[in-house]
Every structure is written in structure tokens, then in C-alpha cells.
């Protein structure tokens, strides 16, 4: 077993690392750093509200809604002059300008997304790309290209979003250390850390729960698996739900020969379309939460969730009942009928309670908002520290045997962490460009935003794609607005990113994970383009009907 695929028995170094982080945070509380960060967050929110253009914070005090106001002011109007001698330059109360990085600065971001899409498919790079260290080399290398531009070439102010809103001016001479640090802090401290901490906690805690058994592999049984996964996906994340249910589903269908379509529909529902009701359900929605979308706003998407998942499960049942199940041999059906074992659940305690703790930490520990019923604002990063503490409890109180039975390892989450480290840095320049040039794209209607977001989410990772079109929608005036984005447009962007991430294997992280597990179990999964025949023939018409019913 390689280091990249280390088993659950290698958690001791992680436990020590978590204890060290918790200890460091405790010391920082004594010094007062988190308290000072929260104070800055609250003051910035109050300032924006007093100025008349505030909107909910992003979980770290990021008031992105000011960007549109900043773009209205020309260079130097607030004393922020490109090339000024200000040594790095935080100028309180100043505003950025209606300028942006050159269009060629989209290239590092595009190159990274292209690498994610292509390198796993090219025979001479497929094996090399399997190493998470190699993935990190590519992601971090392109991130360094982006930072090098800001360090040596950027000549306009940079809007700071972490820990609170400000504007940083470039230097008149020498490297732009202040602007470069601002970009890095926005990307890593403001967004990457809370993003990856949420995924890590959901992934690790759900890995301590095991469901095993061999039920009757009837069409109704499999349909109920899909329904349960679609419901769980919004509450423990698509990754957590997929890892929890794919193994018992495959074990239940182990006597059947025609199982490929079941895994494909599992990817449609559990790995993607089921996760749109809460920000923890799918990574794109959590990025929206970080940009100010209220935690419970996505619950409003329940009609679309019910429509799409209801149709998918209905189509699956009809397919399995009338096309696939009749093809099973009498011998295989007899084996399935006699080899029956009820479901057994292991690791529910304490992990189910800990998963609930993750949900509550996201909902309640937002430093830009007081805890409900109090006037106290949680300290900066207390949310992430609480999630780390929940992971520590899972690793120390949960059963190692359960994780070993699940063949649990950290490879998948390390892959996400390695790639998104570079993605969050590289997408800073495209986001600044979109803040200024978004209206020029010609996207005006919810339907247009749905298909634009969805089309790119199909062939690129859906989380950064969501961010791109979220920022584009913010440049258009619309009411009612949520986090600076028209509610109808935000609905379209959210649904496009979540639903159409299932169009290809690379649209969402769990897709490839489920494919690999199924193939390891002996199921011949379709190729990249073979899978697309299924998604275009089944999923695409359902999504077209969704836009006609809900997004006209």
C-alpha cells in the first residue's frame, strides 16, 4: 500500500497534528488574535451597514457586495494611486477602481482546470497524475504564477476580504508585497481554510460509519438506496453520503450481473443532485455561503430538488424493473433471493452526533453574526476549530475496526486539498475581471445562467465554476437580492453547478471516487465518453424540463 493510500491505522500523526492546532489556537486566544479578528469583522459589517450597502458576511466578515460600489470610483479618487509609495498599502475606507488584471491572467486558472480534466485521461500522464504530490506540484506551481503577477506586475488596488473589507494599494517601486499578501489571504485564509475544513470533517467523520448487508436486489430496494442517498447528501455532503452508501449498495447487488446503470444513477442522485438543500451538501453551495448566502437559503430549492431527484429515481425504477432485472439469469436471481443479510450499522456512536455537530458549527459559528439569542460573535476560526475538535473525537472515540472495514484512507480528501489550494489562488484574477466585465458576457436570464454554469460544471470542477458565475451574476442589478445576487439568478447558478456536476466523471469529486470503488468491485463502468451517453440521454432531458418549469 502506497503512502498516498495509507489506511486508517495511520491516523496517529493526524491526531497529534490536530492536538497541536487546537493547542496553538488556545494560545492565540490568550494573546487575543481571534478576538481581534472578530472585532475587525464586526466593525467592517457595521461600517458597511452604516454606509448603506451592507450585506451578510461570508463567515469571515467578507462583504463582497461592496465590490460593485468600489468599481464605480476612478483611480486616485480615494487616494489609492497605482505606483504610489505606500508600502503595502492598506487604506481604510478607500475603494478599488473600475480596472482589472489583464485578460491573459485567466490562463493560470484555465490551465489548472484543463489539467484536472485532461491529465487523468491521457495515457502517458494518467499514472503520474495519480500522485497527490504531483497534483499539488501543478496546482501550487500555477498558483505561484498568479502570485508572481501580483508581486511584480499588478498596478491597481486590490480589495481585501480577509479578515474584513479593505483596499490595498500597489507600491511605487519594488515588489507589491501588500497586494500579493492580500490576494493570498483572500484565497487561502478567507476561503480555502473554511472550505477544506468542512469537507475534511464531513469526509473523516462519515468514514467512521459503516453500513453492511446484502438485501434483496430488487428494483424497489435499489430505488430506496438512491432516495436515502439523495436525502443524506444535503446533510452530510455528497462525498459523505456516497462513501456511506456505495458499498452496501454494491454488496446488495453482488449477485446481479446488470449493475452498471445502478452505479450511474447513484452518481446522478447521491454524488450530485441530492446535495442542493444545505451549504454542506455540495462544495459550490458552501462557497456561496462563504460569500454571504444565508445558511438556510438553499432549503428554498426543495421544489427543484424534489422534481429532479424524483424524476431520476422514477426513471431508474422503470429501467431496472422492466429492462435490467428481467435480463438476470434464474440462477443469479435465486442466489440473490437466498443470500440475504439484514443491514448492520456500525460506528453510529459517536459519529452521527459528531456529523450533527458539523452542521451546527456551520450554522451558528459565523463570526460576522451573533450566536442566535445572544450578542456574542464567535471568534475568528472558532468554526473550523470546532470542526477539527469533532474530527479528533471521531478518530479517538470511534472504532478503528470500522474504518478498516470501510477501507478508509485520506487519499481522496488530500487530492481535493492539493488541487483546491491552487484553484483558490488562481481564480482570484478571473474573479476580479468578472467583477468589472461580468455584464459584457451577455448573461441576463436565469435560464442563461443555469446553462452557462452547468455547461462548465460538466467539464470542469463545479465549485470554482459556481464562484465564477456567482460573481458574474453579482454585477447585474436584480431584486430581490441574496448576498448581492438576484435571487432568481442565484437559484440558477446554484442548480446549474450542483445538478450538472453529474454530467461527466470530472464534474464533481465523488463521481470518480464511486467509479473507482465500483470497478474495484468488478463492475465494468463506462468510459469517460460512454458515461456521457448516459448523462446526455437521461439527465439532460430532465434538466431541460427543470429549466422550463422553474427558470423561465
Can you state the percent helix, strand and coil of the chain, rounding each to 5? 65, 5, 30
Closest by CA position to 135, among listed 461, 359, 491: 461
CA distance 199 to 191: 13
161 closest CA partner among 285, 72, 292: 292
| Residue 27: alpha-carbon gap to chain centroid | 30
Q: Give the per-residue pLDDT at 434.
A: 84
Place of cell 475606507: 93
Q: Outline where 119-257 has alpha helix (H).
A: 123-129, 132-152, 177-184, 193-206, 219-252
Residue 169's nearest CA partner among 145, 187, 150, 148 is 150
* Coil/strand/helix, residue 160: strand
| Angle at the Cα of 534 from the Cα atoms of 533 and 538, rounded to 5 degrees | 120
Residues of the chain with pLDDT under 50: 1-6, 8-9, 52-97
CB contact at 8 A, 434 and 465: no
CA distance 415 to 138: 12
- Residues 6 or more apart whose CB falls under 8 angstroms from that of 16 comprise none
For residues 443 and 453, the answer to whether their CB atoms sit within 8 Å is no
Can you tell me the distance from the alpha carbon of 263 to that of 245, in angstroms, rounded to the nearest whole number? 11
Question: Tell me, what's the pLDDT at 96?
Answer: 41
Closest among 470, 461, 462, 463 to 493, alpha carbons compared: 470
Place of cell 477544506: 196
Please tell me whether the peptide bond between 163 and the residue prior to it is cis, using omega within 30 degrees of 0: yes
pLDDT the model gives residue 369: 87
Q: Please give the Cα distance from 169 to 158 (Å, whole number).
A: 7
Please write the tens of the pLDDT for every residue from 155-197.
899 989 899 888 898 888 889 999 999 999 999 999 999 999 9
Rg (CA), the chain: 24
Q: Where are the alpha helices (DSSP H) in 443-486?
A: 446-459, 462-474
| Backbone dihedral angles phi then psi of residue 214, each to the nearest 5 degrees | -135, 90
The alpha-helical segments, DSSP class H, found in 58-131 are: 67-70, 107-118, 123-129
Residue 155: phi and psi, rounded to 5, are -125, 15
At residue 98, the pLDDT reads 61
Contact (CB, 8 A) for 507 and 459: yes
Amino acid at each position: 500500500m502506497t503512502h498516498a493510500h495509507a489506511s486508517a491505522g495511520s491516523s496517529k500523526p493526524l491526531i497529534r497534528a490536530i492536538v497541536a492546532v487546537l493547542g496553538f489556537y488556545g494560545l492565540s486566544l490568550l494573546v487575543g488574535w481571534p478576538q481581534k479578528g472578530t472585532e475587525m469583522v464586526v466593525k467592517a459589517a457595521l461600517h458597511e451597514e452604516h454606509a448603506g450597502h451592507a450585506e451578510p458576511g461570508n463567515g469571515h466578515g467578507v462583504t463582497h457586495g461592496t465590490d460593485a460600489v468600489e468599481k464605480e470610483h476612478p483611480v486616485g479618487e480615494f487616494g489609492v494611486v497605482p505606483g504610489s509609495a505606500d508600502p503595502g498599502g492598506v487604506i481604510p475606507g478607500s475603494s478599488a477602481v473600475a480596472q482589472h488584471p489583464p485578460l491573459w491572467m485567466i490562463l493560470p486558472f484555465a490551465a489548472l482546470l484543463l489539467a484536472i480534466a485532461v491529465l487523468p485521461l491521457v495515457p502517458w500522464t494518467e499514472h503520474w497524475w495519480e500522485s497527490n504530490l504531483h497534483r499539488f506540484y501543478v496546482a501550487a506551481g500555477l498558483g505561484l504564477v498568479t502570485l508572481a503577477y501580483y508581486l511584480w506586475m499588478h498596478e491597481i488596488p486590490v480589495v481585501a476580504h480577509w479578515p474584513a473589507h479593505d483596499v490595498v494599494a500597489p507600491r511605487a517601486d519594488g515588489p507589491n508585497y501588500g497586494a500579493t499578501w492580500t490576494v493570498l489571504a483572500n484565497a487561502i485564509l478567507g476561503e480555502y481554510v473554511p472550505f477544506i475544513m468542512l469537507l475534511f470533517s464531513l469526509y473523516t467523520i462519515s468514514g467512521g460509519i459503516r453500513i453492511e448487508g446484502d438485501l434483496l436486489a430488487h428494483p424497489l430496494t435499489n430505488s430506496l438506496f438512491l432516495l436515502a442517498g439523495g436525502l443524506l447528501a444535503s446533510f452530510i455532503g455528497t462525498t459523505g453520503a456516497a462513501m456511506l452508501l456505495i458499498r452496501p449498495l454494491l454488496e446488495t447487488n453482488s449477485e446481479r450481473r446488470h449493475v452498471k446503470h445502478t452505479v450511474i444513477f447513484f452518481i446522478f442522485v447521491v454524488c450530485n443532485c441530492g446535495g442542493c438543500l444545505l451549504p454542506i451538501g455540495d462544495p459550490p453551495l458552501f462557497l456561496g455561503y462563504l460569500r454571504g448566502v444565508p445558511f438556510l437559503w438553499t432549503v428554498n430549492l426543495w421544489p427543484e430538488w424534489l422534481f429532479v431527484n424524483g424524476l431520476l429515481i422514477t426513471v431508474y425504477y422503470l429501467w431496472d424493473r422492466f429492462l435490467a432485472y428481467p435480463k438476470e439469469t434464474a440462477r443469479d436471481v435465486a442466489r440473490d433471493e437466498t443470500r440475504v443479510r439484514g443491514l448492520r450499522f456500525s460506528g453510529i456512536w459517536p459519529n452521527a452526533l459528531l456529523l450533527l455537530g458539523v452542521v451546527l458549527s456551520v450554522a451558528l459559528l459565523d463570526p460576522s453574526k451573533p450566536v442566535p439569542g445572544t450578542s456574542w460573535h464567535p471568534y475568528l476560526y472558532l468554526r473550523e476549530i470546532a470542526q477539527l475538535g469533532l474530527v479528533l473525537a471521531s478518530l479517538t472515540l470511534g472504532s478503528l475496526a470500522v474504518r478498516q472495514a470501510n477501507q478508509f484512507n485520506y487519499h481522496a480528501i488530500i487530492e481535493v486539498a492539493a488541487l483546491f489550494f491552487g484553484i483558490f489562488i488562481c481564480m482570484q484574477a478571473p474573479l476580479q475581471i468578472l467583477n468589472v466585465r461580468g455584464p459584457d458576457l451577455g448573461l441576463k436570464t436565469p435560464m442563461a445562467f443555469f446553462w452557462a454554469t452547468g455547461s462548465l460544471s460538466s467539464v470542469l470542477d463545479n465549485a470554482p465554476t459556481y464562484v465564477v458565475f456567482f460573481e458574474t451574476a453579482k454585477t447585474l442589478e436584480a431584486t430581490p437580492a441574496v448576498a448581492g445576487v438576484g435571487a432568481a439568478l442565484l437559484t440558477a447558478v446554484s442548480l446549474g453547478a450542483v445538478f450538472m456536476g453529474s454530467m461527466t466523471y470530472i464534474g464533481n469529486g465523488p463521481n470518480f471516487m464511486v467509479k473507482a470503488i465500483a470497478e474495484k468491485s468488478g463492475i465494468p463502468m463506462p468510459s469517460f465518453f460512454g458515461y456521457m451517453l448516459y448523462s446526455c440521454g437521461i439527465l439532460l432531458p430532465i434538466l431541460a424540463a427543470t429549466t422550463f418549469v422553474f427558470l423561465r
